[in-house]
Amino acid sequence: MPAEIYLNVAVGGALTGLVYGLMALGLSVIFGVVRVVNFAHGEMMTIAMYIAIVLFAAFKLDPFLMMLPIAAVLFAFGYLLQMGVINPFISRPEHSQFILLVAVALIIVNVLLIMFGPDARSVQTGYSFDSFAVGALIVDATKVYAGTAAVVAAAALFAFFRFTRLGQAIRACADNYAGALVVGLDVHRLYALTFGIGAACVGAAGAMLVVLMDVTPASGPAYTLLAFVIVITGGLGSMPGALIGGVLIGLTEALAGLLFTPSAKSMFAFAILVIVLLFRPQGIVGKRAA
Amino acid sequence: MTRMLEGVDRRALVLLAILLAALIAAPALANDYLITVLILILYFAYTGQAWNIMMGFAGQLSLGHAIYVGLGAYTSAALFVHFGLAPWLGLLAAVPVAMACGAVIGFLAFRFRVAGVYFAILTIAFAEFARIGFDHFRWVGAAAGLFLPVAQYVSSDLWTLRGRPIMFYYLILTMTAAAFVLCHLLLRSRLGYFWQAIREDEEAARALGIDTFRYKMIAVVISAGLTSLAGVFFAFYYNNLFPEQVFHISRSIELILGPIIGGVGTLFGPILGAFLLTGLAESLTEVLGFVGVEVPGAKQVFYGICLLFVIMLVPDGVWPWLARALRLDGKRS
């Protein structure tokens, strides 16, 4: 195989990885603040992907333009989920939270199955087969758009947490739960906002990813696992870590699919996860937690 | 015997005796369908009990127990298919393989201080690793599956485990009863108290001089070994094994739903949970079939909603709540 193929696949994988990174960022934000592992994360992303498919099929609305509205819908979903279901569970043991979110995931997967059937769906835009050529390097246009959008979304989120009062209040909750209560922050509402923001991340990521790959109702759990792998590799709770982890896993999967068989590609992602957990449990960029 | 029963509420014993008698007598009254449902219930009661040793007793949350089921199933089935080795000999290899795997996971996790959510995700990672690995493992059929020769169902051969459902029913009933007794004894042993100390507060347990690493390892290894026996049962009962089914994360999840819904750390929890959840799933099938709803997925939606409500209403599980209601909790089982 000529060397350019490796380069093309690697760049494509890294760009897809940025979208994975945005999805994982949502998981990381939720865990970092609410301290709940969202076992329905990938399933929430499939909701976003199906919304994008319906909007495109019915109104020819481009998924990239629909990114913000879809993120808003998912925000509402996440907000209500945290307010109605998860808030009473924040101080419960992990296995109780786990069952709760597994139940949510089960409902999502099967409601999607009832509504859309088991077949794979995708979106074919007018530019689906366009590509950019830089010298020998050829990259799909969709991947370039998606990767760029993911970086912009992540940067916006980063700015929100760094510079706005609300973002600072949420970080205060994450740093010191009791302290946040003492200074009079409405922690439950801030948790709901955080879960909503995390859900908005998967919403945006789902709208982009639907242009890059097919979706079935059953693909949710695999995305949940992928998000875990990325977030732990990059460092749970670290925002740049999620993007770096995403790129690393995207690259690994793309190259493993090329060099070995595509069906074994996620084995390499899990191998990276195990190695990171054992030798650098705080993740590549994370700070060592207690 | 007397020591074994010491401090057990008499009414709990009566309850147990009635349950056991009913289960022994059940095949006389039940039709084939009910037998298969009961086998499923007991299978989940058994695996739930085995998982409970690790989580309920020692406080280590494993979300990847499918790996031990799968290793037990594949080892015994492969030995049977390739060398004609009976499962009773095959389990002599299957159980050590699963125990060794548990020991490796436990060693890596506990040595490198991987705990809590990270430990849970590490167990998922190993199970997924095994799933994809077995998908490409030619000797055991890879993704195309491993099939056991199906015998004529006229007579039952207990030695090779080829036979009718009734044989499997009594086999899994024996396994479940034995696991219950074993867990009861473990919970009251020195080891059991060490585990509970670790579960409640690992730092404090270490401060008291308990070798936490050692006792957590013992919990994982025992749990893995017991779970692999369920795998051997699974292989010979279903006669076909696919990595995508056996090692899939949904297998690990359904295995732990029972004990969590029933009550983590209790002896009755896994059994009650298995009855409730399998009963719920089967009755949903019946009810939806009766009403004429045949949409794929409808059953799982209702199942998920029920699960959501149960965990929200009785977050500690049904058994602790029921035991309080029946005043059986004077002596906590």
Min distance A135 CA to chain B CA atoms (Å): 37
- Which residues in chain B are contacts of A100 at CB distance < 8 A? 308, 311-312
* pLDDT surpasses 50 at A290: no
Helix (H, G, I), strand (E, B) or coil at A138: strand
Give the pLDDT band of residue A281 (cuts 50, 70, 90).
confident
More confident position, A84 or B4: A84
ipTM of the complex: 0.85
Round to whole Å and give the CA distance between B251 and B246.
7
Nearest CB to A110 within list B129, B249, B304: B304
Tell me the DSSP string of A37-102. --TTHHHHHHHHHHHHHHHHHHH---TTTTHHHHHHHHHHHHHHHIIIIIGGGTTS-HHHHHHHHH
Nearest CB to A94 within list B61, B112, B135: B61
Min distance B124 CA to chain A CA atoms (Å): 9
pLDDT attached to residue B292: 80
Both structure tokens of B83: 């060398």
Q: What is the mean pLDDT of residues B276-304?
A: 87
The residue in chain B having the minimum alpha-carbon distance to the alpha carbon of residue A110 is B297
The residue in chain A having the minimum alpha-carbon distance to the alpha carbon of residue B143 is A263
Taking all residues of chain B, what is their mean pLDDT, rounded to a whole number? 89
* pLDDT surpasses 80 at B165: yes
- Which residues in chain B are contacts of A107 at CB distance < 8 A? 300-301, 304-305, 308
pLDDT attached to residue A112: 94
pLDDT in tens, A167-188: 999 988 888 888 888 888 888 8
Give the pLDDT band of residue A7 (cuts 50, 70, 90).
confident
Nearest to B164 by CA among B149, B172, B173, B154: B154
Q: Which residues contact A240 (CB under 8 A, 6 or more apart)?
A: A158, A234, A285
Q: Which residues contact A73 (CB under 8 A, 6 or more apart)?
A: A48, A51, A203
- Which residues in chain B are contacts of A95 at CB distance < 8 A? 55, 61, 256, 260, 264
Residue located via tokens 């125990």: B99
How many of the other CB atoms lie within 10 Å of CB of B200?
A: 10
Nearest CB to B133 within list A93, A105, A267: A267
- Which residues in chain A are contacts of B311 at CB distance < 8 A? 96, 99-100, 103
**Residue A133, strand partner residues:** A138
pLDDT attached to residue B296: 82
pLDDT attached to residue B117: 84
**Contact (CB<8Å) B250/A107:** no
Q: What is the mean pLDDT of residues B21-44?
A: 91
pLDDT attached to residue B40: 94
- Which residues in chain B are contacts of A279 at CB distance < 8 A? 112
Q: What is the mean pLDDT of residues B262-283?
A: 92
The residue in chain B having the minimum alpha-carbon distance to the alpha carbon of residue A104 is B304
Q: What is the mean pLDDT of residues B144-167?
A: 77
CB pairs under 8 A between A and B: 123
Give the pLDDT band of residue B6 (cuts 50, 70, 90).
low
Round to whole Å and give the CA distance between B117 and B293.
39
Nearest CB to B117 within list A94, A229, A266: A94
Q: What is the mean pLDDT of residues B152-167?
A: 75
Give the pLDDT band of residue B333 (cuts 50, 70, 90).
very low
Q: Find the helix packing angle between B269-291 and B249-262, rounded to 10°.
A: 110
Looking at chain B, how many residues does it have? 333
pLDDT in tens, B108-144: 999 888 888 889 989 998 999 899 999 888 898 888 8
How many of the other CB atoms lie within 10 Å of CB of B11?
A: 12
**Contact (CB<8Å) A114/B296:** yes
**Contact (CB<8Å) A232/B301:** no
* pLDDT surpasses 50 at A289: no
- Which residues in chain A are contacts of B113 at CB distance < 8 A? 281
What values do phi and psi take at A281, rounded to 5? -60, -20
User: N- to C-terminal Cα distance for chain B?
Assistant: 17
pLDDT attached to residue A1: 63
| pTM strictly above 0.80 | yes
pLDDT attached to residue B329: 62
Give the pLDDT band of residue A19 (cuts 50, 70, 90).
very high
Domains of chain A: 3-279 (1.10.3470)
What values do phi and psi take at A215, rounded to 5? -135, 140
* pLDDT surpasses 70 at B332: no
Lowest mean pLDDT among A99-103, B74-78, B142-146: B142-146
C-alpha A222, offset from chain centre: 12
Nearest CB to B114 within list A98, A221, A278: A278
Residue of A100, A106, A249, A275 for testing the chain B interface, max B β-carbons within 10 Å: A106
Nearest CB to B122 within list A37, A96, A277: A277
What values do phi and psi take at A39, rounded to 5? -75, 0
pLDDT attached to residue A116: 92
Tell me the DSSP string of A237-286. T-HHHHHHHHHHHHHHHHHHHHHS-GGGHHHHHHHHHHHHHHH-TT-SSP
**Contact (CB<8Å) B311/A96:** yes
- Which residues in chain A are contacts of B300 at CB distance < 8 A? 106-107, 109-110, 113
* pLDDT > 70 fraction of chain B, expressed in percent and rounded: 94
Q: A182-191, A279-288, B232-241, B317-326 — which one is most confidently predicted on average?
A: B232-241
pLDDT in tens, A235-279: 877 888 899 999 999 999 888 888 887 777 888 888 888 888 888
Residue located via tokens 């009855």: B275
Q: Considering just the CA atoms, what is the radius of gyration of chain A in Å?
A: 19
